[in-house]
Amino acid sequence: MLIPFLIPFVIAMFLAINMGGSGTAPSFSAAYGSNIIKQSAIPGLFGIMVFLGAIIGGKNTAYTVGKGLIQPELMTFTIVSVILISVALALLIANLFGIPQSTSQATVMAVIGPALYFNSLNTHKLLYEVLPTWFVMPIISFVLAFLIGKYIYKPIRKKGYTISKKLNDHFMFKGGILLMSMYVAFSIGTNNVANASGPIAVMAVNELNISDAYFLQVLILATLIVAPNFGIGSSIFGKKILRNTGKEIVLFGKVEAVIIAFISATLLLSASLIKGIPTSLVQLNVSAIIGIGVAKLGWKNIFFKTEVNRFFIMWIIAPLIAFLVSLLLTWGADSWGMINR
């Protein structure tokens, strides 16, 4: 019993490591690119802020992933393993194409698979809360970045106002960029940790016959297990990812990078705290980047680029893969008698 029970924990920790690696770039690329913080110090600070975000503001999102879309009693170690394996496969495919993908959307779609199979899907939560948030939030991110870029930042630059070297090197300016990096990491903690800790916590309650009254305590324990792996992922993958985001820093500069980070992190934090909706930081971040890019270079130069179109296509395909794999594995597990109903 112990080994099957531990399998979902191992998969969840593996996913957290990968999420931590990918989350390092939107969090600390501006601070690292500006030489404000050493690369060796980033994993620890990133891990701490993710952990604090998960503990302080991650409860609502964990409830949605673990209980809000599917009947909680179905979240056995078999189903949770199916969900997490499906997410891992979807992310692997996206990584092979070099497209940053939303773990949150892949997780939700993986949960929907067994929920549909057992006719236990909370369609109201999905159709009236989750899906609208997925569509609206990136649009808001794009619009805000576009408006700021076109009507505030670009006119200032046209008038010749630039950040002087003295201001650029001022400790308050550098401190602001570092605080923004920590803010993004905190927002990641409030949302992305729940992709693993939510299903794990519900599974533990079911498999160990723990009273539902203690779910919050179990969730905190699951978070204590999952969240530190974000820092480990940052330590393993962060250096390469931070170097790969150097072009983005050069293209946008410090101020624009801070604008992008603030918009995407604030929207992600809002989704976590208000409704507990698992939301894609990647999509919010890329939407803000595109918004700034359109303000600087125009619509045609951005939307007719092949890279942008590939992003949109993979954002649709990867969650669908997670859903189909999860549905297929659930059917297989049920056919082999691995699911008790």
- Select from 20, 2, 317, 1 the least CA-distant residue to 196: 20
- Select from 151, 172, 141, 135 the least CA-distant residue to 259: 141
Q: What three-state secondary structure class fits 129?
A: helix
pLDDT the model gives residue 38: 84
- Select from 159, 149, 179 the least CA-distant residue to 259: 149
- Select from 130, 143, 5, 148 the least CA-distant residue to 77: 5
pLDDT the model gives residue 246: 46
Q: Which two tokens stand for residue 117?
A: 């199979």
- Select from 307, 39, 68, 316 the least CA-distant residue to 194: 68
- pTM comes to 0.86
CB 291 within 8 A of CB 146: yes
Q: How far apart are CA 102 and CA 214, in angstroms?
A: 30
pLDDT the model gives residue 282: 81
CB 288 within 8 A of CB 263: yes
pLDDT the model gives residue 190: 94
Rg, Å, the chain Cα set: 20
pLDDT tens, N- to C-terminus, the chain (341 residues): 566 678 888 888 888 887 887 777 778 877 777 678 888 888 899 999 999 999 999 999 999 999 999 999 999 989 999 999 999 888 777 766 666 677 889 999 999 999 999 999 999 999 999 999 999 999 999 999 999 988 876 666 666 555 555 555 667 777 888 999 899 999 999 999 999 899 999 999 988 888 888 888 999 999 999 999 998 888 887 666 666 554 454 456 677 778 888 999 999 999 999 989 999 888 898 888 888 888 887 777 666 664 666 677 777 888 899 999 999 999 999 998 877 66
Q: What three-state secondary structure class fits 211?
A: coil
pLDDT the model gives residue 249: 46
CB 20 within 8 A of CB 233: yes
